[in-house]
Every structure is written in structure tokens, then in C-alpha cells.
């Protein structure tokens, strides 16, 4: 999935409790932002701006290593345990947007471009999925997001309308 929709899915499923939405969105974005934001900034500074899908050779080795760590369910479980102990149950629920991100990437990344090694560093196992930029995946992803957010907004509007009637 693209970075933005990971945040939106995280917010939808892990940010339902009042005040957790923004944290869930951030946690849903972080696995990609931690990896690709520094890389993108470095490329911009060096004047290597590429529109579209960049060549794998344009990524330094550290990008792949960091990607494997941020897209590992093993690492996510360790982070979740630490967050739960330090900040408590509420934030740890919002943090579940991070492993949701990983679970969504497993079938939507091909072996050719950043395969999701979800058991890293214990294993390099990955699934050769259908790339998230495939038109059917993109259309399904955006359609479901629009529908589910529409339902969510409709329910909230109805709930707030009922409260004003009482």
C-alpha cells in the first residue's frame, strides 16, 4: 500500500477510541516514513529527484536493512510490549496500526521490490504478492477506504444528531 493509505487504515481500525485516531494514523505511517523519508530527503538534497517508481539501485543498503526491521512483526511485537509497559493500554491499541501496516504489505509487495520479510531477523521469509500499485489493488484499496470512512462519518453524524435531539 502507499504510505498515506496505511495511515488511513490505521486510523480507521486502531484509532476508534476518542483521542487515539491521530496516534493510530502516525503509527500506521511510521514503518514507511522511518525508512523512506530520510532516503527521499537525501535524494532531494543531491538533486536525484525521480518521478514514479525508483530503481532498486538508487537505494543504499541501509534502506533495505531498515525496511526489514520496520516491516517485521517480530520487531513490532517487541515495540508493542515496550509501549504497553511504558505508556499503557490506550497507546498500545493505537500502535496496532504498525503491525496492521505490515500485514497489509505482506500480500501487496512483490519479491522484486521491497518484499516484506515479516519474520525478520528470525527469517527472510516473504510472499511474492501483487504489487500495491496494480490497478485492481489501488482501486479496491481506495474504494474500500472511501466507503468505510463514509460509513464511519455517517454513523458519527447520526450519533451527534441524536444527542442534540435529547
Domain annotation covers residue 159? no
Separation of alpha carbons 27 and 14, rounded Å: 9
Domain count, the chain: 1
Domain annotation covers residue 35? yes
Domain annotation covers residue 88? yes
Separation of alpha carbons 52 and 91, rounded Å: 35
pLDDT at residue 102 in the model: 98
Domain annotation covers residue 143? no
Backbone CA torsion sign across 67, 53, 102, 124: negative
Q: What is the mean pLDDT of residues 125-154?
A: 94
Are the C-beta atoms of residues 126 and 111 closer than 8 Å to each other?
yes
Instruction: Note the pLDDT tens digit of each residue in 8-67.
Output: 999 999 998 888 999 999 999 999 999 999 999 998 999 887 777 888 998 999 999 999
pLDDT at residue 14 in the model: 95
pLDDT at residue 166 in the model: 53
Domain annotation covers residue 164? no
Closest listed residue to residue 85, CA positions, set 72, 97, 98, 95: 95
Domain annotation covers residue 86? yes
Domain annotation covers residue 12? yes
CA dihedral 31, 32, 38, 41 (to 10 degrees): -160
Does this model's pTM top 0.75? My answer is: yes
Amino acid at each position: 500500500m502507499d504510505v498515506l493509505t496505511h495511515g488511513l487504515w490505521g486510523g480507521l481500525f486502531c484509532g476508534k477510541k476518542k483521542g487515539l485516531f491521530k496516534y493510530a494514523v502516525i503509527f500506521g505511517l511510521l514503518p514507511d516514513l522511518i525508512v523512506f523519508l530520510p532516503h527521499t530527503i537525501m535524494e532531494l538534497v543531491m538533486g536525484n529527484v525521480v518521478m514514479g517508481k525508483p530503481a532498486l539501485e538508487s537505494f543504499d543498503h541501509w534502506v533495505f536493512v531498515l525496511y526489514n526491521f520496520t516491516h517485521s512483526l517480530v520487531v513490532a511485537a517487541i515495540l508493542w510490549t515496550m509501549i504497553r509497559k511504558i505508556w499503557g493500554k490506550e497507546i498500545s491499541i493505537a500502535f496496532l496500526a504498525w503491525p496492521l501496516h505490515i500485514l497489509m504489505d505482506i500480500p501487496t509487495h512483490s519479491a522484486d521490490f521491497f518484499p516484506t520479510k515479516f519474520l525478520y531477523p528470525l527469517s527472510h521469509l516473504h510472499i511474492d504478492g501483487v504489487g500495491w500499485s496494480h490497478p485492481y489493488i489501488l482501486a479496491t484499496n481506495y474504494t474500500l477506504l472511501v466507503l468505510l470512512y463514509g460509513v464511519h462519518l455517517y454513523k458519527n453524524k447520526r450519533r451527534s444528531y441524536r444527542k442534540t435531539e435529547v
